[in-house]
Amino acid sequence: MQNRVLISEKQINRQMNLADQLNRELKSRNLKFYVETFGCQMNVRDSETIKGILVRIGYTECAEKEEADLIFYNTCCVREHAEKRLMGNIGALKDLKDANPGLIIGICGCMMQQDGMAKKLLKRFPHVSLIFGPNVVFRIPEMIERVLSGERVIMTDEENFAIAENLPQLRDNPRSAFVNITFGCNNFCTYCIVPFVRGRERSRDFENIYKEVETLCSSGITEITLLGQNVNSYANDLNSGSFAELLVGLNDIPGLKRLRFMSSHPKDLNDDVIKAIASTSHVCHHVHLPVQSGSNEILKRMNRKYSREEYLDIIRKLRAAVPDIEFTTDIIVGFPGETEEMFQETLSLVDEVGFAAAFTFAYSPRAGTAAAKMKDQIPEYIKKRRLQELNQLQAKKTVENNQKYIGYEGEVLVEGFDQRTNETLLYGKYSNFKMVYFPGNPEQVNTYVNVRVLATNKNSMIGEQFQIK
Ligand code: SAM
Ligand code: SF4
């Protein structure tokens, strides 16, 4: 296995010096950028770095693409429909470019790493001048300099093992932040394109993660979500450390109230992690544990490396160690070869576990992955019907899950408010990810309050604030 490559301080400084130089040249022009993010939390996190670098170069963020001098689309390619949508979105930018010939249009993110995609886009859309993949974000200053001098730039397929530290960030959530702990993935689930477009799995050093969390918490952020395609394999490529040790090591950082993490791969969630969740004060009682299927045959074909029984065993152990723990999951229906009986096994697993929520997907073949070449691809209408059936069951399980919360009391981090009714309804989550709505004052957004659940309706729980005597 090739080792990770730490981008040197010298290389980062060179890019940042270039950013400062561009800033001196561009600042007086009052240039604006607009970044739109598609896909998962990894992309949201990447966009914060992209925006931070653009600010360093001298741009300020704007809310509408019509006002922008630079537009980036940060793309996702996990499922096929994203590609079709993106093509339409890029095409629609031509009018803006015609109206403002100085406009820089850049497309970045996972999709740009797909075979032939970058060249195809550049050819099809002459108004696009910059294309780059997720592993070269730190080179944006160099890319912008080249674009400003009239070049059309493609920068992909490089730095597949790179980790770049200490880049500028523009984070817009004042209470909550994502922190990467690993990049890339080694698991090669047969349906998934991520290992091909994000490179091999590499872990950040504990000290760098610690420093980032410490800095965020000293700026007032209280909730941290650690990000990795498989957080449980953190440090497998380092000489020491483990995910369990990381949770324990970060738990006592001053100001930190909630430590979340995603995603957990069931094959690597071991007893040490269970002990760490149970024994720490700030690690949240929620695990996002994608199961993908309830059928052992399908799990094998997916190369998931655990069985239904092993999955259920982890759930059982976690519930025994942490009684108020909640689980969310990802499920794919219509994987090649999935028979009606195999699909029923997924339904029975969903019924048995009682997930708080499930993100459900119809299998989408991705070129280059093993599953795309498998026989017995399932017709779209069957996938659609199975997805509906699964969603109906999950909706019923969500109602059941909510009902057990009547009378529950706990601390909620207020995320926002809803003004649809006469009274102001605040909403926020308990530590275990359950969302509750309750009357309150908009000034309480971003603070912690105690909430008792009074009632539930179809999708949500309704509560009231209370003071601890
Ligand atoms: N690394 C994470 C994990 O293993 O749980 C998930 C990453 S992926 C971006 C998020 C989810 O997308 C997966 O858990 C899977 O359910 C879904 N997914 C990935 N590839 C897919 C495909 N080809 N078709 C349908 N859903 C897919
Ligand atoms: Fe994709 Fe599997 Fe890696 Fe998750 S663990 S990113 S599903 S290959």
Q: One digit per residue, pLDDT tens: the chain, 469 residues? A: 557 889 999 999 999 999 999 999 998 999 999 999 998 999 999 999 999 999 999 999 999 999 999 999 999 989 888 888 899 999 999 999 999 999 999 999 999 999 899 999 999 999 999 999 999 999 999 999 999 999 999 998 766 688 999 999 999 899 999 999 999 999 999 999 999 999 899 999 999 999 999 999 999 999 999 999 999 999 999 999 999 999 999 999 999 999 999 999 999 999 999 999 999 999 999 999 999 999 999 999 999 999 999 999 999 999 999 999 999 999 999 999 999 999 999 999 999 999 999 999 999 999 999 999 999 999 999 999 999 999 999 999 999 999 999 999 999 999 999 877 678 899 999 999 999 999 999 999 999 999 999 999 877 899 999 998 7
Bridge partner residues of 448 (DSSP)? 413
Residue written as tokens 């979500």? 225
Mutate-to-test residue for ligand 1 from 233, 332, 364, highest number of ligand atoms within 8 A of CB: 332
Task: Give distance in angstroms: CA of 78 to centre of ligand 2.
Answer: 10
**Ligand sitting nearest the alpha carbon of 76:** 1
How much distance in Å is there from the Cα of 78 to the middle of ligand 1? 7
Q: Residue 291 in contact with residue 266, Cβ under 8 Å?
A: yes
- Spatial separation of the C-alpha atoms in residues 313 and 98, rounded to whole Å: 59
Question: CB of 426 closer than 6 A to ligand 2?
Answer: no
pTM: 0.96
**CA of residue 79 to ligand 1 center, whole Å:** 8
Tell me which residue of 197, 172, 170 sits closest to 183, measured CA to CA.
197
Distance CA 244, CA 277 (A): 8
**Closest ligand to 330 CA?**
1
Q: Is the dihedral of CA 175, 181, 183, 187 positive or negative?
A: negative
- Best residue among 40, 191, 192 to mutate for probing ligand 2's pocket (most ligand atoms within 8 Å of CB) is 192
The CA 336 to ligand 2 mean position distance, Å, reads 17
Maximum Cα–Cα distance for the chain, whole Å? 67
Which residues lie closer than 8 Å to 189 by C-beta, 6 or more apart? 292, 302, 303, 304
169 CA distance to ligand 1 middle (Å) = 27
Neighbouring residues of 166: CB distance < 8 A, sequence distance ≥ 6: 9, 12
Ligand index nearest the alpha carbon of residue 372: 1
